[in-house]
Structure 1
Amino acid sequence: MSNNAYLVLENGHVFEGKSFGASGCVTGEAVFTTGMTGYLETLTDPSYYGQIVVQTFPLIGNYGVIPADFESEKPHVRGYIVREKCDTPSNFRCPTDKFGTLDNFLKTNNIIGLYGIDTRQLTKIIRESGVMNARIFSLSGDKKKDEAILSELKHPDFEKIKSYTIKDAVNSVTLNADKVEKTAAEVFTESAQYRAVPVTADGLKINDPKKAMERGIKLDGTKKRIVLWDFGAKANIRRELLKRGVEVITVAANSKAEDILKLKPDGVMLSNGPGDPEENTGIIKELATLCKQKTLPIFGICLGHQLLALAMGGKTEKLKYGHRGGNQPVKNLETNRVYISSQNHGYAVSNNGLPANSKPFFINVNDETNEGLRYQNINAFTVQFHPEASSGPLDTGFLFDDFVKMIGA
């Protein structure tokens, strides 16, 4: 039997529902994501660090918990809210001897969950008012503990809720995805099994691993070496690179440009990650140093896109409610072609503060915010959306091929 749970928004709105996962109280930044599938990728995406995530799709948990789909070792959300949870999952890939249900998974990882509220109303509030902080009060059935929670609930400290900020986000999640790493052979075998193989710009799938990986091989037979600068990387970024036949070396967020260059990379991949990009002053400084190697191929995704823009003199801004979900349309300004993309960001590179010597590459069709840049003074391009897109869509996976092709033989 579930216990009561409550969500208190900083603007005073209160939602009453039921508790699942861990019990207790937690404060975070409330955001919504529109993905119909991919809840495991959402939970384990380091970019959600410090946030209470609301799923707009009404039923979550129906295919259970599948560790092979994790984007990192563990969940990074502060809290998790769904309309309805499934306690009887059915999927041949879901091992019943480990987590089984979403409820057990959240309990194991001490994540507080809330279900049974009107998530549509909650989403409309966030969309109209903008991203705001919130606090979940989740009862456990323990009389003494619950009395303390209910006492606080009667008189919420709204100033304390409003003052919550996400701190030291990147350093808190760097090198988490590498704990679920697999070999190139394993990655391609699993991808081929579920048809998540490399896709060309024309939408054609490359099912032959030898053909898919040939671009990652130099003329001397060795693999092209990519350094993945991990600011909270999703595991599928590394997988997508491995599918192209390259060698991938992952380095921590606090790495120095000098140490990265000592690895003799043929290219550098800048990963996604959480938090306000402008707070990462050390990384921005090191990126500016790295960019003095003007011919070094660089590809940035999400936070990596924002950090490179800042390193090159651009500006970023916080969006009203962000872009989160697997159905965001983006337009390639070089071809005028529109793609459906996966996104998870609360900040964007400002259209009024684009870096010098850069050209807009992609824009968001919905609100015309910047979704990509191509640089003219360095050998780099970046995108705000997620071309690695696990659990989909796969429309823009060809950008990994473009990056590998940038690297000379």
Structure 2
Amino acid sequence: MTDQTECTAGLCPDGATGVLVLADGTVWWGHGLGREGSTTGEVVFCTGMTGYQETLTDPSFAGQIITFTFPHIGNTGTNPDDHEAEHPFARGCILRAPVGIDSSWRATANLPEWMRRNNVVCVTGIDTRALTIRLRDHGTLAGVVAHAPNGIFNLEHLLHQARMHPSPDGLDLATRVSCQQAWEWPDTQSGARPWHVVAVDFGIKHNILRCLAAEGCRITIVPTHTTAREILDLAPDGVFLSNGPGDPAATSHSMIPEVKRILSTGLPVFGICLGHQILALALGAKTSRMMRGHRGSNQPVKCLATGRIAITSQNHGFAIDPASLPNDVIVTHTSLFDGSIEGIALQGRPVFSVQYHPESSPGPKDSRSLFRDFVGLMQQYRHSSAPRRYATALP
């Protein structure tokens, strides 16, 4: 069922138990799945063919309703090992085809059951190709997905909810998804771990922590409100700025002074996604909202130093303004889709960041070497003449 109508027209088609109402007034009828009720969010599209569970549990999708462009979602069921956070952060999702029987030896629950248990509202039977084209051509839109087994919907109320949903501009979501107190990644609490990384949690994915651990790092995760002094008191070999949701300019107000203080120590710093944008803001650049963003695990990125192309996993709706970059910040990577900045580095300093997700999950592993690069910078720093007494590095 893929009927698209104006919000004021007609009654619910026979058999419809789900509906998507966009803020522009269009209605897309379908079949409800997961939790009953409704949820509002920014409707975006994700072009990945695999990894729906990792996508739904990625904190970077907080506040969003995900349109999966791949038609067959749910084929491999769900399992507890594929979570990127403790629970889903996406507000809901939109699918083309009904969810069939899952087929995977790893599955412990099917997708509809997992959605019900985790309070995810979903609508299937939507013409996701037409919806994606609409979002591509006109930009992301606020919307509501609703699931009612009796097929009764108050469209006027749903439209009002969609139109009242706040714009992503100026929205600080990272502080809502961040941890509330410092903790250590369990996989690194024992054994020889030569490198200590403090990761600032703007909505960090578990696979980032796994990748750092695989490179011999002990990881302490700290909340967004942690000061530079508190971070340096933990005696890190490097500082990691994580991915996360929301407007980087809104998130960074309290963090920019702290990131600047960390940069003044000379410590290696590595940022991913929102962390990349926050690093750029701390270095004096600006960010702006993209029309449709990059979301999916098939995004081509070019390394300007080598000319090599990597296929990457991405999830962001904001980007760095190229004209705002200071002279000592160089662009290292660009998108082959639209030329937007995908990586930066600070000249002469062990500081770099990327817009994409080298940890994948889901997606290709083309860029996993960036974690080794970060460890290499920490190793160089440890054996350099840089001061190791962090307390004296801050004013």
Report the TM-score range of the alignment, normalised by the length of the smaller protein.
Answer: 0.7 to 0.9
* CA distance in 2: counterparts of 1:406 and 1:163, whole angstroms: 43
Q: CA deviation at 1:264?
A: 0.4
1:355-405 per-residue CA deviation (whole Å, 9 max, x = no partner) reads 341000000011000000010154200000000011220000001001100
Q: CA deviation at 1:162?
A: 5.0
* CA distance in 2: counterparts of 1:18 and 1:391, whole angstroms: 27
Q: Which of these residues, 169, 173, 176, is aligned with residue 169 of structure 1? A: 173
Q: Is 1:367 aligned to residue 376 of structure 2?
A: no
* CA distance in 1: counterparts of 2:184 and 2:24, whole angstroms: 39
Q: Is 1:131 aligned to residue 140 of structure 2?
A: yes
Residues 1:393 and 1:160: Cα distance change in structure 2 (over 3 Å) = closer
Residues 1:399 and 1:304: Cα distance change in structure 2 (over 3 Å) = same
Q: CA deviation at 1:87?
A: 3.8
Residues 1:156 and 1:94: Cα distance change in structure 2 (over 3 Å) = closer
Q: Which of these residues, 32, 35, 55, is aligned with residue 19 of structure 1? A: 32
Q: Which of these residues, 228, 250, 254, is aligned with residue 199 of structure 2? A: 228
Amino acid at match of 1:230: D
SS of the residue corresponding to residue 106 of structure 2 reads: coil
Aligned partner of 1:285 in structure 2 is: 257
Aligned partner of 2:149 in structure 1 is: 140
Q: CA deviation at 1:182?
A: 4.8
SS of the residue corresponding to residue 8 of structure 1 reads: strand
Instruction: Kindly tell me the number of residue pairs found equivalent between the two proteins.
Output: 363
* CA distance in 1: counterparts of 2:157 and 2:203, whole angstroms: 36
Structure 2 unaligned residues grouped into runs of 5+: 1-14, 383-395
Residues 1:49 and 1:262: Cα distance change in structure 2 (over 3 Å) = same
- Using the TM superposition, name which of 59-68 and 153-162 deviates more: 153-162
* CA distance in 2: counterparts of 1:182 and 1:22, whole angstroms: 32
Structure 1 unaligned residues grouped into runs of 5+: 187-216
Residues 1:160 and 1:90: Cα distance change in structure 2 (over 3 Å) = closer
* CA distance in 2: counterparts of 1:303 and 1:112, whole angstroms: 26
Q: Is 1:153 aligned to residue 155 of structure 2?
A: yes
Q: CA deviation at 1:320?
A: 0.6
Q: Is 1:302 aligned to residue 304 of structure 2?
A: no
* CA distance in 1: counterparts of 2:102 and 2:202, whole angstroms: 33
Q: Does structure 1 conserve the Cα–Cα contact (< 8 Å) formed by 2:62 and 2:89?
A: yes
Residues 1:337 and 1:17: Cα distance change in structure 2 (over 3 Å) = same
The RMSD of aligned alpha carbons is: 2.3
* CA distance in 2: counterparts of 1:44 and 1:58, whole angstroms: 19
Q: Is 1:9 aligned to residue 22 of structure 2?
A: yes
SS of the residue corresponding to residue 144 of structure 2 reads: strand
* CA distance in 1: counterparts of 2:110 and 2:332, whole angstroms: 41
* CA distance in 2: counterparts of 1:23 and 1:30, whole angstroms: 19
Q: Does structure 2 conserve the Cα–Cα contact (< 8 Å) formed by 1:72 and 1:180?
A: no
Amino acid at match of 1:352: A
- Using the TM superposition, name which of 313-322 and 84-93 deviates more: 84-93
Aligned partner of 1:36 in structure 2 is: 49
Q: Is 1:313 aligned to residue 322 of structure 2?
A: no
Aligned partner of 1:395 in structure 2 is: 366
Q: Is 1:241 aligned to residue 243 of structure 2?
A: no
Q: CA deviation at 1:111?
A: 1.3
Residues 1:172 and 1:371: Cα distance change in structure 2 (over 3 Å) = same
Q: CA deviation at 1:136?
A: 1.6
Residues 1:256 and 1:85: Cα distance change in structure 2 (over 3 Å) = farther
* CA distance in 2: counterparts of 1:257 and 1:21, whole angstroms: 42
Aligned partner of 1:344 in structure 2 is: 315
Percent sequence identity over aligned pairs: 41
1:240-282 per-residue CA deviation (whole Å, 9 max, x = no partner) reads 0110112111111111111000000000111100000000211
* CA distance in 2: counterparts of 1:369 and 1:352, whole angstroms: 11
Amino acid at match of 1:104: E
Amino acid at match of 2:21: V
Alignment of 1:242-261 (within 5 A): 242-261=213-232
Aligned partner of 1:59 in structure 2 is: 72
Q: CA deviation at 1:157?
A: 3.9
Amino acid at match of 2:124: Y
* CA distance in 2: counterparts of 1:236 and 1:254, whole angstroms: 23
Amino acid at match of 2:133: K
TM-score (normalizing by structure 2): 0.87
* CA distance in 1: counterparts of 2:209 and 2:156, whole angstroms: 47
* CA distance in 2: counterparts of 1:401 and 1:299, whole angstroms: 11
Q: CA deviation at 1:171?
A: 1.5
TM-score (normalizing by structure 1): 0.84
Amino acid at match of 1:14: V
Q: CA deviation at 1:48?
A: 0.2
1:149-170 per-residue CA deviation (whole Å, 9 max, x = no partner) reads x2x3146544852542454411
Residues 1:82 and 1:185: Cα distance change in structure 2 (over 3 Å) = farther
SS of the residue corresponding to residue 249 of structure 1 reads: strand
Q: Does structure 2 conserve the Cα–Cα contact (< 8 Å) formed by 1:50 and 1:78?
A: yes
SS of the residue corresponding to residue 328 of structure 1 reads: strand
Aligned partner of 2:238 in structure 1 is: 267
